């Protein structure tokens, strides 16, 4: 019967669809059992794999089979991280990883004091997700190098100059005291002056000038009084800035040691997926290949 035929073909189609999924999962399972990380990566993103590793021009249709394992990405990531981090350790000797929860990794830059948390390692996609702000600091720091400057040179100079100005205010206390005494004498003299109506404007004006000067000196006195505290606060700010410069300097040095310059470092990051999978391809040539 036609209806039966129709039902049979619907069943066939579904059976085939289920078979595809089963096939996908059993291929994945076999790859895990044989430690074939390359195959796992291929299965996780076939489109990207054929584009970046096989470098085929024809676009493969997205089959959505990879979605089957979406909710076990943490376990997959945890599993794949072993070999990936070994590989990264050779190329990026200055990065340190911490698996803060299953399959999720923080990247730390360096092993120096107060090294920076630099972002996350995306194991499934073989990609660094650098913290944007931290990465930008590093980029700026490289850019400033050509001008013989560190990231915080200008800021440190500004804060130091402010401290110096405050110190001068403190040092000039005696000068101000004698100026004030003189101005007060002038003020006394001024109030004793004749108050002839045609003179009163000038006397008033003179008086105001003296008072203005005294006010300015009093303001400076007050600043000087708080100067010690401000200088201490400035020292703390300079410490924070110098520390950041020191860290950036170590980071730059590490990148230069491994990649010569920042551009090469970025180029390596961009081709990391292909480079890593090609390295796995080379490795698995001698091994028993599964499912090919």
Partner 1 sequence: MINENDPSTLTTSGRLLNYNEAIKTGLETGLTFTKLMDQLIRTTNPDELVSAATQLADFQLDSDYVTFPHQYSNADYYLLFMSRMLELHDQGNQVILQSRDHREELTQQLTSLGDRGTFNFRVEPSANGGVFYRERATGQSLFYLNLERKMLRFNSHALTQLFVIDLHETVPAETVKTSVQVLIDFARYLKEDYGYSVDFNILDAANRQNYAVRAADLPAGIVDRLFVVAAQNDYMLTNGVNGNGAEIILDEGVVVDIFNNQLSGQPEWVLTVHDDDQKTSWFDVLLKYPFMRDWYLENLTDLEIKSDPLIFG
Which of 219, 236, 261, 263 touches partner 1 by CB under 8 A? 236
- 250 near partner 1, judged by CB under 8 A: yes
Q: How far is the CB of 232 from partner 1 (least distance, A)?
A: 11
CA 259 to chain centre: 19
- 113 near partner 1, judged by CB under 8 A: yes
Which of 72, 239, 267, 270 touches partner 1 by CB under 8 A? 239
Cβ closer to partner 1: 236 or 260?
236
From the list 1-9, 22-30, 119-127, 243-251, the region that binds partner 1 by CB under 8 A is: 243-251
Residues 279, 272 contacting (CB under 8 angstroms): no
Which of 34, 73, 78, 115 touches partner 1 by CB under 8 A? 115
Size of the site for partner 1 (CB under 8 A): 13
- 97 near partner 1, judged by CB under 8 A: no
Which of 149, 160, 246, 284 touches partner 1 by CB under 8 A? 246
Neighbours of 276 (CB within 10 A): 20
Query: How far is residue 99's CA from residue 70's CA, in Å, rounded to a whole number?
Result: 19
Q: How many CA atoms lie within 13 A of 277 on its CB side?
A: 25
Q: Who's near 291: CB < 8 A, 6+ residues apart?
A: 27, 30, 31, 39
Q: How far is the CB of 255 from partner 1 (least distance, A)?
A: 16
Residue bearing tokens 């399959």 = 103
Q: How far is the CB of 35 from partner 1 (least distance, A)?
A: 32
Query: How far is residue 243's CA from residue 249's CA, in Å, rounded to a whole number?
Result: 10
From the list 19-27, 169-177, 240-248, 283-291, the region that binds partner 1 by CB under 8 A is: 240-248
Cβ closer to partner 1: 209 or 253?
253
Query: How far is residue 245's CA from residue 137's CA, in Å, rounded to a whole number?
Result: 10
Which of 242, 269, 278, 279 touches partner 1 by CB under 8 A? 242
Query: How far is residue 119's CA from residue 251's CA, in Å, rounded to a whole number?
Result: 14
Which of 50, 79, 97, 112 touches partner 1 by CB under 8 A? 112
Q: How far is the CB of 204 from partner 1 (least distance, A)?
A: 54
Query: How far is residue 103's CA from residue 126's CA, in Å, rounded to a whole number?
Result: 13
Q: Dump the DSSP string for 123-147.
A: TTTTEEEE-HHHHHHHHHHHHHHTT
Give contact residues for partner 1 (rule: CB under 8 A).
Answer: 111-115, 236, 239-240, 242-243, 246, 249-250
């Amino acid at each position: 019967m036609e209806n039966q035929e129709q039902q049979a073909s619907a069943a066939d189609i579904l059976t085939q669809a289920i078979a595809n999924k089963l096939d996908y999962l059993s291929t994945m399972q076999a790859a895990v059992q044989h430690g074939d990380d390359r195959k796992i990566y291929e299965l996780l993103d076939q489109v990207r794999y054929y584009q970046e590793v096989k470098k085929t021009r024809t676009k493969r249709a997205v089959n959505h089979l990879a979605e089957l394992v979406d909710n076990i990405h943490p376990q997959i990531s945890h599993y794949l991280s072993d070999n990936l981090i070994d590989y990264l350790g050779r190329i990026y000797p200055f990065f340190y990883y911490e698996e803060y929860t299953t399959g999720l990794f923080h990247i730390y830059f360096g092993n120096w004091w107060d090294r920076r948390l630099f972002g996350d390692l995306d194991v499934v996609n073989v990609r660094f997700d650098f913290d944007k702000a931290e990465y930008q600091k590093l980029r700026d720091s490289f850019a400033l190098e050509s001008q013989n400057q560190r990231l915080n040179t200008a800021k440190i100079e500004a804060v130091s100059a402010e401290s110096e100005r405050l110190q001068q205010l403190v040092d000039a206390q005696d000068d101000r005291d004698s100026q004030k005494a003189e101005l007060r004498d002038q003020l006394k003299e001024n109030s004793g002056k004749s108050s002839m109506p045609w003179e009163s404007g000038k006397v008033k004006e003179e008086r105001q000038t003296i008072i203005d000067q005294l006010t300015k000196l009093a303001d400076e006195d007050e600043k000087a009084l708080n100067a010690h505290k401000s200088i201490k606060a400035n020292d703390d700010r300079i410490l924070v800035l110098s520390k950041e410069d020191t860290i950036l300097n170590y980071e730059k040095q590490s990148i230069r040691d491994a990649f010569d310059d920042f551009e090469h470092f970025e180029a390596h990051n961009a081709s990391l997926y292909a480079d890593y999978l090609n390295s796995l391809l080379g490795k698995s040539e001698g091994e028993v290949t599964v499912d090919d």
